[in-house]
Structure 1
Amino acid sequence: MRREQVQDSWDRIDEWLRENAPRTFATLGPPAGEEETAAAEEELGVTFPPDLVASLLRHDGAPECAEAFRFSTHDRLLSVSEIVGDTRSPRGTDEDLDEEEAEDYWIDAYPKSGSYGVTADGLTIDCRRGQGSHGAIGRFFDESGTDFGRADSLGAYLAEPADQLESGRDGGAVTFDGRLVREWSRPLGPDWGSADDPLPRPDGQLPELDLSCSPIDVLPVGLLHELEELGALLALLPRAQVAEAARRQLRRVTAETGLDKYPEVGSVLDALDRGEAPPSPEQADPPALRLRSVIAQADTHRDPPADGPRRGWCTGAGARPTGPCARA
């Protein structure tokens, strides 16, 4: 039954990628050889669960490249040879741990099946025979060890990306230039603040905004998560077209973070929609005061950038408009 679930999930994933992200689909490897898979089991001293074997016989991983197929955790699918190499790396790191601690951190029967790449983190699969958790999917973190509970089998785990892809943007799957790009999707947390909150006094204890940009500033191309072609596209597109895309994205970000509920923010967005260039803001202007108060609230509620696209981070980014964003 699990083998059928693996094949069904890969059928759905392959079909979606072939139609919507052909560059990413092309990175999925051909089937692994049965002899190669058996040799890997012997070398690691484990027996792979049937669904892992079925997956390898469908796709023998994906190479390390920007276009590679990755799960929503941004783990890349490993090939048979990479499973052997990545599984052998953590061995010996549990020598100073007792049996219970070692089982929580790492044991030899937890081969890696997916790699985050930047660190030793990645997906693991429980290959302990006779255990109720045999075949369960977990994730190894080099700082804290192995955490199971992701799925009870690889077949069930593969069904998740299949569902996400078929849900499109709602599932966090977007495409660019023929490749799959996964959006970080995290909840916003408590809905603190109200649209009716009065503006603070300009002389209140609020963080200052960096509003030093000018309409002639060059658009800075920051971290694009290996989307170099997007940077090239921005450099070649007409300025007005980039400004329009930035305006739409600004509207979307403020809606997703709840910033658009504040009338001071909404008035600026409405002006941009009408094609009007808002005046250069001052620290005591209503929009600037609202953004400063939101940043202060974010600091109080411990709303850092690492927690995802929260209001504090978006306000901090939005407070420094440059290039076409400032000219929109």
Structure 2
Amino acid sequence: MTRDLVQDSWNRIDEWLREHAPRTFATLGPPAGHEEIAAAQEELGVTFPPDLIASLLRHDGAVDGAEAFLFSTHDRLLGVTGIIEDTTFMRCLAEDLDEEEAEYYWHHGYVKFGSYGVTSDGLMVDCRPGRDSFGAVGRFFDETGTDFGHADSLGEYLAELADQLERGQDGGAVTFNGRLFWEQASPAGPEWGSADDPLPAPDEQLPELDLSCSPTDLLHVSRLDEFEELGALIAVLPRERVADAARKQLRRLAVETGLNTYPEVRSALDAWERGETPPRPQQTDPLALRLRKVLAQADTHRDNLRKRAAEEVVHGIWGSPYKSVCGIAGTRSRLTADWRADLHADLGNPPLPSIPDERFWGALRNPAVDSSWWAAQYAQDQG
């Protein structure tokens, strides 16, 4: 029976989360009550497939927030209350559609059980009895409507999720600081260019490097907030510790994207790691010519990652270490699933603070970080 598959799958999911991501596991709710589930079906005027009922009897959703359990689609598991609220909202969006349009956008018989949160996107199940698709799992997108084919039942969908978790990084599941993350990182594209390539002539038509960065450039607090507890850590560490992490992060990025093979880049990074800041180059200096050529080749090969890496060489060495470490980590997040652990190691592996909230940013006093708006709000709240 598929209900047994639901229980077996949740057993596997729960066991994996307890061992590898206990903070994420803690966000899963207790079982819903039979009466509550029955009342939800009556209110929505539908019959839940047995698999949805079985899943709710195991976990009544996941607590909302940064640490919440998410499916690999980055949708949060909804409980009974969330199912009613989100499904009712979707019906309001689709109330003027005819039967044929509703089939491909949102039908009255669809029920949402996973929510993306930021938009109305999410996972849904077909609750129309008597149809071959009864119990099938689909996903709704704001722009394109409902797409089926994800699984014939919620039990199958949960079994595949358990498989993904047990495959670890090969299945997209990454853990850090007791939390589960779903990553789509992939290595850099095919190599192009060679360390033996001659430097371009000074008058060759190439994109110019943006050399306007400065060590005193402010980093907006919103950029740090994206990195959650790692962002909070960066915000409170001494500048030299952050600068050291930026040096290590930039070397990682240069190796991962092949820039480290160029002697001009490698020499500049070597000097920087020795504590010697190289002179800021002119557009026709060897390092600048090499990076400008990389920018041109990256455009030709549509290699945005290597293009960003070339830009980060300049920003890293001559810009603000706070801006640099965030920019490099953001680029590396598209190259390697372990970027969080790497960044934490390069910062010295100190204890991580909690995920920052508005109060944290309001109380922050770091001259390299622009938290003025939050500071004003904090001061106002403090009277």
Range of TM-score over shorter length = 0.7 to 0.9
- Partner SS, residue 320 of structure 1: helix
Shift of 1:122: 0.9
Q: Which residue of 2 aligns with 1:210?
A: 210
Does 2:193 match 1:194?
Answer: yes
Shift of 1:120: 0.8
Q: Which residue of 2 aligns with 1:82?
A: 82
How many angstroms apart in 2 are the aligned matches of 1:163 and 1:186?
A: 20
Matching residue's letter, 1:76 = R
Shift of 1:92: 4.4
* Structural mapping, 1:315-326, within 5 Å: 315-321=310-316, 322-324=319-321
**Deviation string, structure 1 residues 151-188 (Cα, Å, up to 9, x no partner):** 23222322344334334444443344433333343576
How many angstroms apart in 1 are the aligned matches of 2:110 and 2:295?
A: 43
Q: Which residue of 1 aligns with 2:72?
A: 72
Moved more, 145-154 or 213-222: 213-222
Q: Which residue of 1 aligns with 2:180?
A: 180
Does 2:232 match 1:232?
Answer: yes
Q: Which residue of 1 aligns with 2:295?
A: 295
- Partner SS, residue 150 of structure 1: strand
Moved more, 222-231 or 6-15: 222-231
Decide whether the 8 Å contact of 2:271 with 2:278 is kept in 1.
no
Q: Which residue of 2 aligns with 1:115?
A: 115
Shift of 1:73: 2.0
Summarize the Cα distance change of 1:221–1:257 in structure 2 as closer, same or farther, 3 Å threshold.
farther
Decide whether the 8 Å contact of 2:224 with 2:232 is kept in 1.
no
Q: Mark the runs of 5 or more structure 1 residues left unpaired by the alignment.
A: 305-309
* Structural mapping, 1:1-328, within 5 Å: 1-94=1-94, 97-185=97-185, 191=190, 193-195=192-194, 198-215=198-215, 222-224=222-224, 226-257=226-257, 259-260=259-260, 264-268=264-268, 275=274, 277=276, 279-282=278-281, 283-300=283-300, 310-321=305-316, 322-324=319-321
Shift of 1:55: 1.4
Moved more, 31-40 or 132-141: 132-141
CA RMSD of aligned residues (A): 3.3
Shift of 1:292: 3.0
Matching residue's letter, 1:57 = L
Moved more, 148-157 or 74-83: 148-157
How many angstroms apart in 2 are the aligned matches of 1:153 and 1:256?
A: 40
How many angstroms apart in 2 are the aligned matches of 1:114 and 1:297?
A: 42
Matching residue's letter, 1:312 = K
Q: Mark the runs of 5 or more structure 2 residues left unpaired by the alignment.
A: 326-345, 347-383
- Partner SS, residue 89 of structure 1: helix
Summarize the Cα distance change of 1:2–1:246 in structure 2 as closer, same or farther, 3 Å threshold.
farther
**Deviation string, structure 1 residues 12-49 (Cα, Å, up to 9, x no partner):** 32223223332222111111111111221222222222
TM-score (ref. length: structure 2): 0.71
Matching residue's letter, 1:292 = R
**Deviation string, structure 1 residues 193-243 (Cα, Å, up to 9, x no partner):** 333655443433332222233456566655346544322211333545434
Aligned length: 321
Moved more, 7-16 or 263-272: 263-272
How many angstroms apart in 1 are the aligned matches of 2:4 and 2:49?
A: 14
TM-score (ref. length: structure 1): 0.81
How many angstroms apart in 2 are the aligned matches of 1:248 and 1:9?
A: 41
Structure with greater helix share of residues: 2
Shift of 1:80: 0.9
Decide whether the 8 Å contact of 1:219 with 1:324 is kept in 2.
no
Summarize the Cα distance change of 1:192–1:175 in structure 2 as closer, same or farther, 3 Å threshold.
closer
**Deviation string, structure 1 residues 279-317 (Cα, Å, up to 9, x no partner):** 14523344433433343344455566xxxxx33344444
Moved more, 157-166 or 191-200: 191-200
